């Protein structure tokens, strides 16, 4: 077991029929903008399985090695640029951020 820094989970939905366009934007524009921040160690995305209507369609996890990296990220130019670009993209391709949840990872089990 080891300590694990900070993970930020986020959930999003896009308009029906916009999945391909939304995922292309998220994968090829949004994430690369955020990955420019040196303290962001990894990002993974997934599609919710066995989803009900009240659940988001997509989940993303951003991993930071430390609380300090996460705090610096919150104030970073990279994050601000990505948020501004995201607001512009929403005008042409409506999507919704359902929730965002930062977590202090206090224990990690690895095999």
What's the pLDDT score for residue 1?
41
For the chain, residues with pLDDT lower than 50 are 1
**In the chain, where are the structural domains located?**
6-104
Contact between 65 and 4 (Cβ < 8 Å) = no
What's the pLDDT score for residue 2?
53
What's the pLDDT score for residue 20?
96
Contact between 1 and 102 (Cβ < 8 Å) = no
Opening angle at CA 40, ends 70 and 93, nearest 5: 100
Q: What single-letter DSSP state applies at residue 47?
A: E
What's the pLDDT score for residue 108?
84
Q: What single-letter DSSP state applies at residue 48?
A: P
Opening angle at CA 9, ends 50 and 51, nearest 5: 10
Helix (H) or strand (E) holding 81: helix 77-92
**pLDDT tens digits, 67-86:** 999 999 999 999 999 999 99
The fold of 6-104 is Alpha-Beta Plaits (3.30.70)
């Amino acid at each position: 077991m080891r300590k694990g820094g900070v993970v930020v989970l986020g959930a999003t939905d896009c308009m029906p029929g916009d999945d391909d366009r939304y995922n292309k934007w998220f994968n090829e524009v949004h994430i690369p903008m955020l990955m420019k921040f040196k303290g962001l160690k990894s990002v993974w995305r997934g599609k919710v399985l066995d989803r009900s209507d009240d659940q988001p369609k997509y989940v993303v996890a951003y991993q930071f090695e430390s609380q300090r990296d996460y705090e610096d990220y919150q104030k970073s130019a990279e994050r601000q640029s990505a948020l501004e670009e995201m607001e512009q993209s929403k005008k042409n391709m409506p999507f919704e951020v359902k929730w965002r949840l930062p977590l202090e990872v206090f224990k990690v089990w690895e095999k």
